[in-house]
Structure 1
Amino acid sequence: MTSRRSRAAGCGILPRVTVSIWISCASLLAWLWLTFCQGGFWRTDQRLPPRREDAPRPPVAIVVPARDEAEVLPLSLASVLAQRYPGDARVILVDDNSTDGTGESARKLGAAPDARLPLTVTTPGEPPAGWTGKLWALRHGVEAAGPDITYLLLTDADIAHDPDSLDALVAAAETGGYDLVSQMARLNTQTRWEKLIVPAFVYFFAQLYPFRWSNRPGSRTAAAAGGCTLVRRDALERAGGVAAIRGAVIDDVNLARLVKRAGGRTWLGLADRVDSVRPYPRLAQLWHMVARSAYAQLRHNVLLLAGTVLGLALVYLVPPVFTVLGAVTGRPGVWGPALAAWALMAVTFSQMLRYYRLPAWQSVLLPFTALLYTLMTVDSAVQHWRGRGAAWKGRTYP
């Protein structure tokens, strides 16, 4: 009997078991650290900070860059024009060389009887070398706003706002002395793919940029959500203006970094009054949404890409795989830590599912979603190596 055990150890069976246990324990330690030491990223309590109703309401310009967005404007731009704001406010839609009648559609909405705010539609022309189309459009809109504006609300063409959204944003900024206030719009979760992919998208974003850390003065973490960002004009100018990030694919995070590094106070949270109206019914559309900027997020660094893939595997794939393998082979030292890690994953993710009004049981599917995101990230790198870069509505940025 002893000789059999010796031969088993000599064949490497016991070392393999030990390696499996170590990997399982490493995954659990990673989840303990993420749960308790990563800024409470999984919590969904970062909403607009307290605000005074008697706070000043200075002049605001709402800048909406739009490229081929005629289909969604009746839902999104109409809600922006219907804002109830007690101060001076105007809307500037920058038609980024659309081919679907975006400008004409916007003008009709601006002339509608229920439009409370005045609308200006302008076109900047094709972006020069080194500029992304959106940032070139934003720069044009900021210049068109004029020097008398205190705040700029930068909002995407597919974002719909509650009638009091602008008022709440400005009141929060004035009350808290913030230079930038951003809300992550609630994305569509109607189709099965949206329900599977979208909550994880926000969950992963918060894991990279914990909102609590981003909102802490002096913290190195800074982030914003490009769909809804209110920024003080003078703070934007101190940070170098839109031109300082003219080539950025991930413009929202870079904008928040600029403002914070220039001494400004920033705030980011989840939205209750702001929603995306753009549908993503097919997996291919969601895949493109993630893949077009994933490798840029890794600064086009192969080592970061390899580390990210290995990290995603350890954190999200090891728990379910080792739980099953350990249970099948009867090794509690393998499946025990893996199951505990999977449980922490599910519990933390369930908070985001609750925010999206989805059932908590869906949290057990997060490893599969993480696998999809891993493949999207690799595909993003492959597209970059092929020279396609980040592609969006007919434009490709190397």
Structure 2
Amino acid sequence: MTVLTWTAALSLAAWLWLLLGQGFFWRTDVRLPPGGGPDEGPEDGDWPEVAVVVPARDEAEVLPLSLPTLLAQDYPGRARIVLVDDGSTDGTDEVARKLAEAAPRGLPLTVRSPGEPAPGWTGKLWAVRHGMRVARAEGRAADGAEPGFLLLTDADIAHEPDSLRRLVSAARVSRLDLVSQMARLRVVSGWERLIVPAFVYFFAQLYPFRWINSATGRTAAAAGGCVLLRTETAVRAGLPDSIRDAVIDDVTLGRTVKRAGGRIWLGLAEGVASVRPYSGLRPLWRMVSRSAYAQLRNNPLLLLGTVAGLALVYLVPPVAACAGSPVGGAAWALMTLTYVPMLRHYGQPLWLAPLLPVTAALYLAMTVDSAVRHYRGRGAAWKGRTYP
């Protein structure tokens, strides 16, 4: 056997393991647990108060598409929204107030600004901290009790009218401390079709949802665009102060809650979608590269291992197959089959599945670029801020 055939055999073995031994990450049937259906709810009919916290920095463009969906939530209990303007320069706060005025029957909206982050804080978590404090204080002032749940949702996330009801119902019925949904990202342009479904696919491969949702498993993560969190759990875990410097805040949040003894759940979204457009390769590249090296703990050895692993698993099969190796062809076929469910979830043509190695090569380049930016002092840069 040639060196190429041996390498292809290693790749095929890796894909057999990924297919059967990595929590069935490729399946797309992990949806809201019992209690998350449109006609289900807490057995006692008691709907707890919820505070929706929306951190926003220069989001005036997307707020008209997302904030009205929060204002229009059909929730049986008390709920209110706290939008935290994180130093915006595009009039985000005024846009939010005008949208609330245009929806007089919607949920009450409070707009606040905490000023620049204190040393050691990322901007988003500083905004979340301020929003949580405002929400808890408003709850105590209104009826002497804090909200039972906090919904942390990004400014670009749109929710179906029953989204909040379903999230709270799932948390109550299944006794969960954190319920998070991976929002359906926008897939319209050619670059979005090539990169976005793979983003969710790779995330699920790193953090298999079934492992996350196991009460006995150690794997933990969340999707930052939509996180329902019990207030008492947040207090017990010291959130968000305990993760104030986290660049990948959603994964760190999930880990912190699980380590504190909380039960967490993560799955694909139903009725939760991102409205943020990615007009070309550059914004998509920035989305991945700004935190890819932080995911590797800024460790050069982990970077080398990741590059080698990506090359073995994703690049060797098509190269070996094109060189006439049936083993390489089998590995490529397995890779393609595991990607088909995610493409179907996003309503994309299945001919994109064999192109997954091309997308993986782009992600490899983004990861290397993330490391280069880190060592140049421009690593975790986002909307005018750079974090060490």
Bin of the TM-score, shorter chain as denominator length: over 0.9
| 1:66 and 1:102 in contact (8 A); partners too | yes
Hey, what's the Cα distance between the residues in 2 that align with 1:280 and 1:143?
33
Aligned residue in 1 for 2:362: 372
Aligned residue in 2 for 1:382: 372
Aligned residue in 2 for 1:30: 14
Hey, what's the Cα distance between the residues in 2 that align with 1:269 and 1:71?
28
Aligned to 1:212, which of 207, 210, 213?
A: 210
Give the secondary-structure state (helix, strand or coil) at the position aligned to 1:99.
coil
| 1:78 and 1:115 in contact (8 A); partners too | no
| 2:41 and 2:173 in contact (8 A); partners too | no
In the TM superposition, residue 114 of structure 1 has moved relative to its aligned partner by 5.7
> Counterparts of 1:135-146 in structure 2 under 5 Å?
135-146=125-136
Hey, what's the Cα distance between the residues in 2 that align with 1:20 and 1:289?
34
Aligned residue in 1 for 2:286: 288
In the TM superposition, residue 18 of structure 1 has moved relative to its aligned partner by 2.6
Aligned to 2:30, which of 16, 41, 46?
A: 46
Aligned residue in 1 for 2:247: 249
Aligned amino acid, residue 41 of structure 2:
E
> Counterparts of 1:231-380 in structure 2 under 5 Å?
231-325=229-323, 327=324, 335-380=325-370
| 1:185 and 1:274 in contact (8 A); partners too | yes
Hey, what's the Cα distance between the residues in 2 that align with 1:185 and 1:79?
14
| 1:63 and 1:138 in contact (8 A); partners too | yes
Aligned residue in 1 for 2:163: 165
> Counterparts of 1:93-172 in structure 2 under 5 Å?
93-113=83-103, 115-146=105-136, 147=140, 148-172=146-170
Hey, what's the Cα distance between the residues in 2 that align with 1:241 and 1:177?
20
Matched, 1:66 2:56: yes
> Which region of structure 1 is more displaced relative to structure 2, 43-52 or 223-232?
43-52
Aligned amino acid, residue 250 of structure 2:
D
Aligned residues: 374
With the length of structure 1 as denominator, give the TM-score of the two structures. 0.93
Aligned amino acid, residue 359 of structure 1:
P
Matched, 1:18 2:7: no
Hey, what's the Cα distance between the residues in 1 that align with 2:351 and 2:379?
37
Hey, what's the Cα distance between the residues in 2 that align with 1:42 and 1:276?
21
In the TM superposition, residue 115 of structure 1 has moved relative to its aligned partner by 4.6
Give the secondary-structure state (helix, strand or coil) at the position aligned to 1:268.
strand
Give the secondary-structure state (helix, strand or coil) at the position aligned to 1:113.
coil
> Counterparts of 1:54-93 in structure 2 under 5 Å?
54-55=42-43, 56-93=46-83
Q: Any gaps of 5 or more consecutive residues in structure 1?
A: 1-16, 328-334
Give the secondary-structure state (helix, strand or coil) at the position aligned to 2:2.
helix
Hey, what's the Cα distance between the residues in 1 that align with 2:185 and 2:101?
28
| 1:97 and 1:123 in contact (8 A); partners too | yes
With the length of structure 2 as denominator, give the TM-score of the two structures. 0.95
Hey, what's the Cα distance between the residues in 2 that align with 1:240 and 1:42?
34
Aligned Cα root-mean-square deviation (Å): 0.9
Aligned residue in 1 for 2:184: 186
| 1:109 and 1:115 in contact (8 A); partners too | no
> Which region of structure 1 is more displaced relative to structure 2, 361-370 or 143-152?
143-152
Aligned to 1:203, which of 192, 201, 204?
A: 201
In the TM superposition, residue 315 of structure 1 has moved relative to its aligned partner by 0.3
Aligned amino acid, residue 124 of structure 1:
P
Instruction: Give deviations 1:185-244, integer Å, cap 9, x for gaps.
Output: 000100000000000000000000000000000211001000000000111111111011
Aligned residue in 1 for 2:143: none
In the TM superposition, residue 105 of structure 1 has moved relative to its aligned partner by 0.3
Matched, 1:225 2:223: yes
| 1:61 and 1:152 in contact (8 A); partners too | yes
| 1:24 and 1:337 in contact (8 A); partners too | yes
Hey, what's the Cα distance between the residues in 2 that align with 1:339 and 1:19?
16
Give the secondary-structure state (helix, strand or coil) at the position aligned to 2:55.
strand
Hey, what's the Cα distance between the residues in 1 that align with 2:88 and 2:33?
37
Q: Any gaps of 5 or more consecutive residues in structure 2?
A: 141-145
Percent of aligned positions with the same letter in both sequences? 66
The structure-2 alpha-carbon separation of the partners of 1:219 and 1:85, relative to structure 1 and needing over 3 Å to count, comes to: same
| 1:96 and 1:137 in contact (8 A); partners too | yes
In the TM superposition, residue 20 of structure 1 has moved relative to its aligned partner by 1.6
Give the secondary-structure state (helix, strand or coil) at the position aligned to 1:90.
strand
Hey, what's the Cα distance between the residues in 1 that align with 2:42 and 2:153?
25
Hey, what's the Cα distance between the residues in 2 that align with 1:185 and 1:268?
11
Give the secondary-structure state (helix, strand or coil) at the position aligned to 1:127.
coil
Aligned amino acid, residue 3 of structure 2:
V
Hey, what's the Cα distance between the residues in 1 that align with 2:300 and 2:177?
35
In the TM superposition, residue 53 of structure 1 has moved relative to its aligned partner by 2.5
| 2:207 and 2:219 in contact (8 A); partners too | yes
